[in-house]
Structure 1
Amino acid sequence: MSDLRALIVGCGDVGGRLARQLLAHGWQVDGLRRSVRDLPEGVRPVAADLSNPRLPEAWPARAPDYLVYCVAASQHDEAGYQAAYVDGLRHVLDWLKTKGQRPRRLLFVSSSSVYAQQDGEWIDESAATAPEGYSGKVMLEAERLALGSGIPASIVRLTGIYGPGREWLLSQVRRGYRVAEEPPLYGNRIHAEDAAGLLAHLLQADARGVALDDCYIGVDDDPAPLAEVVGWLREYLGVTEWSDEQRVRRTGSKRCSNARARALGWAPQYPSYKEGYAAILQGRG
């Protein structure tokens, strides 16, 4: 068994998948969430409310080698994002300081919402971040907090996560919703298992002494036009009717590159929406 220990703050869908992958490689894992009854087997539970600044009673006595901040906002407005991503991270950093603990590295899971490009441009980690919505602005604030924490940190900007239980687009397609074809609306996706796999790959690389960059984009190999994805899903599902009124709505259009992550040796298990959605519909993944 490895002597390495990770604390996953927000050990839900992606965090739980990460925990399973690390456990399979012999790591020890602490999982922090409000309700710990759904933690994967083998994860040491840390029950905590990130909105409460008080140090959790179950906080690990041993300092984590790695901290992964991987939360999801329970309230989808500016106040909810601020509480989850900025205030919650600040509380965790304070708890580490209170206990005199300093992980080797912090991975902060962010979002591609920090990018505002909307004309189908290819972008990478060096692209301008000028978000117009509150979600991207709050994420940038949280990223700055992580990078300025005094702990070596890497930001992981995940794109549209999908997987079992994250099937919004499938429900839209089944209802016959339409999507604009021109101009093409490019979307970026990553299967939840690949999102966890990227985080695990970064942790393992750092543990081997590989120098990490301060930012990575988590995306599959195929940022495709939404109309293409919908067309493929309609054919796969056998949907023939179109809704007269409803449309799949989305704003923005950009193509995110995973070249930096791939250069580190990571590759997605589901390289495109075809493999990923096929796995979901076949009960895998």
Structure 2
Amino acid sequence: MLVGCGDVGGRLAALLVSQGWAVHGLRRQAARLPPGVHPVGGDLAEPGCPPAWPVGALDYLVYCVAADRHDEAGYQAAYVQGLQHVLAWLGLHSQRPKRLLFVSSTSVYGQAAGEWVNEQAITAPAGFAGRVMLQAEALAHASGHPATRVRLAGIYGPGRERLLRQVREGYQVALEPALYANRIHADDAAGLLCHLLLADQAGHGLAPCYLGVDDAPAALAEVFGWLRQRLGVTHLQPGAFVRRTGSKRCSNALARASGWLPRYPSYREGYAALLGEGGGTLR
């Protein structure tokens, strides 16, 4: 059961269908689900169980939603209240999945001086997004179902091209102190989730938490410089600077140790592919 079949969730659903899995997908607009996914139309804001919720056993539940509103109330509704509703629906049908995979975010880390971060690092988020994510993670952990959190960072890909637009518009990034950012291509985010589900199905134990990032966290100024060169952007907009509160370098060593390898190991490969398959329309 995939709760939240948007960008990453939809890619994951397609991967699992290609592996022969029977996949149920919940989203408000069920007609937009990938081919082969059993549609479950529903709204996580409503406590009532969707009529099309499957009644049989569920082997896995993946909670992979995105907030409609980027404020604290929107995050509470999507990640805490929505998960509470889904857990209630599982109880209503006496469903005991083998694993609950909760898709979280590296916003739970508040490090801001370029520190390296792994799954054991202190979580002291500076903003509401990270705080709400920690609440939701705790809810998943206390659900009574075996739970694994996957903290994704900086998802990009087709349709997620804000950074490219900022480069084209001449935005700048301060060189000192270095502002580090982490990212993962949407295909790799879905691929990691699929890898973990297949590993669990094969009997390989999963850790309680994984970081979903590529191999190479990089200073944002470096990324902007590389993209300017690729896009032929020479102008800079006076006073237009990228603002970020955090600066950390996230390690994917634990995910790689499980056997997962990103298709796009750094921003270079990922953005080169994006510019060649749709991102090029920004030119």
Question: Structure 2 length as normaliser, TM-score?
Answer: 0.97
Cα displacement string for residues 217-272 of structure 1 (whole angstroms, at most 9, x for unaligned residues): 00000100000000000000010111112112212110000000000000100000
Residue in 1 that maps onto 2:182 = 188
**Aligned: 1:128 with 2:122:** yes
SS of the equivalent of 2:50 reads coil
Residue in 2 that maps onto 1:106 = 100
For structure 1, which runs of at least 5 residues remain unmatched after alignment? 1-6
SS of the equivalent of 1:154 reads strand
Distance 1:121 1:244 in 2: 30
Deviation of 1:75 (Å): 1.1
Count of matched residue pairs: 279
Equivalent of 1:42 in 36, 47, 50? 36
Runs (4+) off by over 4 Å? none
For structure 2, which runs of at least 5 residues remain unmatched after alignment? none
Deviation of 1:159 (Å): 0.6
Equivalent of 2:260 in 255, 260, 266? 266
SS of the equivalent of 1:278 reads helix
Equivalent of 1:244 in 225, 238, 243? 238
Deviation of 1:284 (Å): 6.7
Cα displacement string for residues 4-48 of structure 1 (whole angstroms, at most 9, x for unaligned residues): xxx110011000000111111111111001111111000000001
SS of the equivalent of 1:245 reads coil
Deviation of 1:132 (Å): 2.0
Residue in 1 that maps onto 2:56 = 62
Q: Which amino acid aligns with 2:13?
A: A
Residue in 2 that maps onto 1:78 = 72
**Aligned: 1:283 with 2:277:** yes
Query: Structure 2 matches for 1:187-206, cutoff 5 A?
Result: 187-206=181-200
Deviation of 1:161 (Å): 0.4
Residue in 2 that maps onto 1:11 = 5
Residue identity (%): 67
Distance 2:220 2:244 in 1: 9
Deviation of 1:72 (Å): 0.1
Instruction: Please give the root-mean-square deviation of Cα atoms over the aligned residues, in Å.
Output: 0.9
